A and B are shown apart, each in its own frame.
Chain A
Amino acid sequence: MVYWCRERVERMAGLLGGRIAEVANRDSTFRVILVAPLQLLLWFLLIVPTLIVLYLSVVNWQPIMGVDWWQAPLAWVGNYARVVRDVRFWEAMARTLGVVVAAVGLEFLLGLGLALLLRGEFLGKRFFTSVILYPMMLPWVVVGLVFFLLFLDRGPVNYIIGLTFGPDAPFDWYGHPLSALGVIVLADVWQWTPFMFLILYSGLGALPKEPQEAAMTLGASPWQIFRYVMLPMLRPIIYVAVVIRALEAFKIFDLVFIITRGGPGTSTESISLYIYRLSAIYGQLSYAAAMAVLILVMVAVLTRYAVKPMEQQQVPQ
């Protein structure tokens, strides 16, 4: 009896398992199962939140109002109108864009210089390249902490400045907006120049050698070869590297949070830090949502224009 039961159960389980395996092996089901987790994840974390942020931005809702968020009164474009008139928003925006331009510009120049410098073979090259790459692995907050410690009143940077320029030269780096932003930019440059270097270095390595040799035979100077032969061929890769880095730098939050907390006052606040404070600290979710929507639109439009020349350009071979 027991045996019979077990046999039946086993056979049924076997049949069921076989049926499941058969269905899962069908071409149509196979595809759906493969991509379903990604689609669920995107619905859960991208599409639904985007709909919610659009909704929040046209209503007037704060958690302290005591109403559920789906019952909030409509505000139409009220939140957007407030953002447009918000001086603190525009200042944070200008500041963030300034940091992006300064940091990405410096990273590009330094990364390109390093890539050109380290092109040939030399003693200890493997060691140097692996040393140069490690800052990318560090947590942003740790980089912020390290640079915070370097530029302290009685830190090593001020000590060296004091030795070189006399005892009055040491500087209160965090007391002035521009110098505090300078420390933030330096920290970003220190951490992300390796990224530029990595991309430009592999880009340089992939360039065809013949045009350079031809130019050399025709008597072009090294500068001319670089400027008129290598740089044009490298342009698509430069584009990709700069766009990726600029998008990342625009998100800047961790470094500002650790190094200055946006201070003194709000004079070093980045756009991400401002939206963080509005939403997570002040609880003004609708206002923050309107700001977030504006940022989404702005980044999308800018990226569209930045990507356009990339599409039109063909890699010259």
Chain B
Amino acid sequence: MRGLLPLVRWVAAVAVAAVVLMPVVWAVSISFKPPAEWAAHPPRLVPEEPTLANYQVLFQVGNPVGVVAEMTRTAEPVTRAFITSLIVAPLATAASVAIGFFAAYAVSRYQVGGPMLPFLALTTRMFPPVAFAVPLLVYYRMLGLIDTRLGLALMYTGFTVAFPLWMIKGFIDSVPRHVEEAAILDGASRWRVLFTITLPLVKGGVAAALLFVFILNWTEFLFALIFTSRHAITLPVQVSYYAGAVGRFYGPQAALGIVASLPVVIAGYVIQRHLVRGFTFGLVK
């Protein structure tokens, strides 16, 4: 019985991994299929005539690539949305983590803003975002921020800042004060201490917060859908356009889904290693 356990465990792990991988593998497979195979019966995992046309139409609509071009005439190329996402998500992530880091330091060291400030920041995550979208619609229209990348980045900063605040606060709490006090006695300014002593000690927390907030900003959909219409639409919104308006046009839908997911998945796996390093080097104990 004891000897069987590892085998059972291994079989179960393989089954779980298969369930986790299969849906996306199927989408990848569709993204390389020509239109005739999208809904072919019986479905095949490996495309009979693999094609890149689904990916091509994403970036050059109107280029004749057979039936796909015929079906995509109404859809816009995704280049613009891609660029918007590449600007808004990193910008908002940097702003959110920087603001969160400063505030975390102030809260951890001086309890600025009272004990309620961190919880106030957390309320931005507690409630459904749509509840904030209603007043922001009025507000943003007045300020002319609707359908701008700046407006979107501002919103993303505000609605993710609770995470870096809480994540980095935990790290700063564990940095002993006497390290900083020693440097101040040596004549370093508070800013110098903050950037050259505290920041390197908590960089594991900062890296974790960066990754986490980037994923949130890259994948955000509701605000982008409501507050952008033409100039500042992001990739998730473009995915929804492809999925809805054009109907049964599964190949490019799947291709766009893959393209929209790649940056976060790659970022996740690249930073994963640094996270482990950050966590081990960053701890002062």
Q: Find A122's partner among B6, B16, B17, B98 (CB 8 Å cutoff).
A: B6
Instruction: Give the distance in Å from the alpha carbon of A132 to the alpha carbon of B155 in the complex.
Output: 31
Q: A35-B113, A53-B135, A122-B13 are in contact. Are A45 and B20 (CB under 8 A)?
A: no
Is B136 in contact with A159, judged by CB distance below 8 angstroms? no
Q: Mark B104-126, 1 if CB is under 8 A from A, else 0.
A: 01110010110001001101111
Let me know if A275 is at the binding interface, CB within 8 A. yes
Let me know if B176 is at the binding interface, CB within 8 A. no
Chain A's closest residue to B136 (CB) is: A49
| Chain A residues with CB below 8 A from B135, complex form | 48-53, 56, 289, 292
Instruction: Give the contact stretch, choosing among B54-62, B65-73, B75-83, B235-243.
Output: B235-243
Q: A34-B112, A38-B102, A285-B138 are in contact. Are A45 and B159 (CB under 8 A)?
A: yes
| Chain B residues with CB below 8 A from A144, complex form | 243
Is B106 in contact with A31, judged by CB distance below 8 angstroms? yes
Q: A280-B133, A295-B131 are in contact. Are A134 and B20 (CB under 8 A)?
A: yes
Let me know if B10 is at the binding interface, CB within 8 A. yes
Is B26 in contact with A53, judged by CB distance below 8 angstroms? no
Is B23 in contact with A190, judged by CB distance below 8 angstroms? yes
Q: Give the shortest distance, in Å, between A139 (CB) and chain B (any CB).
A: 4
The interface residues of chain A, by DSSP majority, are classed as: helix
Instruction: Give the distance in Å from the alpha carbon of A296 to the alpha carbon of B135 in the complex.
Output: 13
Q: A131-B20, A132-B20, A146-B257 are in contact. Are A45 and B12 (CB under 8 A)?
A: no
Is B16 in contact with A254, judged by CB distance below 8 angstroms? no
Chain A residues within 8 Å of chain B by Cβ, number: 86
Instruction: Give the distance in Å from the alpha carbon of A154 to the alpha carbon of B41 in the complex.
Output: 7
Is B137 in contact with A279, judged by CB distance below 8 angstroms? yes
Is A299 in contact with B10, judged by CB distance below 8 angstroms? no
| Chain A residues with CB below 8 A from B24, complex form | 138, 146
Q: A39-B113, A49-B132 are in contact. Are A56 and B190 (CB under 8 A)?
A: no
| Chain B residues with CB below 8 A from A130, complex form | 269, 272
Q: Mark A30-58, 1 if CB is under 8 A from B, else 0.
A: 11111101110110111011111100100
Let me know if A94 is at the binding interface, CB within 8 A. no
Q: Mark B219-254, 1 if CB is under 8 A from A, else 0.
A: 101100110000000011001100110000010011
Q: A132-B20, A134-B20 are in contact. Are A139 and B138 (CB under 8 A)?
A: no
| Chain A residues with CB below 8 A from B235, complex form | 139
| Chain A residues with CB below 8 A from B17, complex form | 128, 131-132
Is A276 in contact with B265, judged by CB distance below 8 angstroms? no
| Chain B residues with CB below 8 A from A118, complex form | 9, 13
Q: Mark A122-160, 1 if CB is under 8 A from B, else 0.
A: 111100101110111111111011111110111110010
Chain B residues within 8 Å of chain A by Cβ, number: 85
Instruction: Give the contact stretch, choosing among A1-9, A174-182, A223-231, A245-253.
Output: A245-253
Is B39 in contact with A142, judged by CB distance below 8 angstroms? no
Let me know if B282 is at the binding interface, CB within 8 A. no
Complex interface residues of chain A between 95 and 109 (CB less than 8 A to chain B): none
Let me know if B281 is at the binding interface, CB within 8 A. no
Q: Give the shortest distance, in Å, between A24 (CB) and chain B (any CB).
A: 7
Chain A's closest residue to B214 (CB) is: A137
Chain B's closest residue to A163 (CB) is: B42
Is B215 in contact with A122, judged by CB distance below 8 angstroms? no
Q: Find A148's partner among B113, B136, B243 (CB 8 Å cutoff).
A: B243
| Chain A residues with CB below 8 A from B128, complex form | 250-251, 253, 271-272, 275, 295, 299
Instruction: Give the distance in Å from the alpha carbon of A86 to the alpha carbon of B153 in the complex.
Output: 35
Let me know if A288 is at the binding interface, CB within 8 A. yes
Is B222 in contact with A147, judged by CB distance below 8 angstroms? no
Is B264 in contact with A149, judged by CB distance below 8 angstroms? no
Is A53 in contact with B134, judged by CB distance below 8 angstroms? yes
Instruction: Give the distance in Å from the alpha carbon of A135 to the alpha carbon of B102 in the complex.
Output: 31
Is A45 in contact with B99, judged by CB distance below 8 angstroms? no
| Chain B residues with CB below 8 A from A46, complex form | 120, 123-124, 132, 158
Q: A41-B158, A128-B16 are in contact. List 17 more A-B contacts (CB 8 A).
A: A31-B110, A34-B112, A38-B99, A38-B102, A41-B157, A48-B135, A50-B135, A137-B215, A139-B219, A139-B221, A140-B236, A141-B221, A142-B239, A148-B243, A149-B30, A257-B240, A279-B226
- Would you give 27 A-B contacts (Cβ < 8 Å), ordered by A? A34-B102, A34-B112, A35-B107, A37-B98, A37-B99, A41-B158, A48-B135, A49-B136, A50-B135, A117-B13, A122-B13, A130-B269, A139-B218, A139-B219, A141-B221, A141-B243, A144-B243, A154-B43, A159-B42, A247-B126, A253-B222, A257-B221, A261-B244, A292-B130, A293-B131, A296-B127, A300-B126
Question: Which residues of chain B have a CB within 8 Å of any CB of chain A?
Answer: 6, 9-10, 12-13, 16-17, 19-21, 23-24, 26-27, 30, 39-43, 98-100, 102-103, 105-107, 110, 112-113, 117, 120-121, 123-139, 154-155, 157-159, 161, 165, 189-191, 215, 218-219, 221-222, 225-226, 235-236, 239-240, 243-244, 250, 253-254, 257, 260-261, 264-265, 268-269, 272
Which 9 A-B residue pairings sit nearest by Cβ, starting from the closest? A45-B158, A52-B135, A139-B219, A34-B106, A292-B131, A38-B103, A49-B135, A53-B135, A35-B106
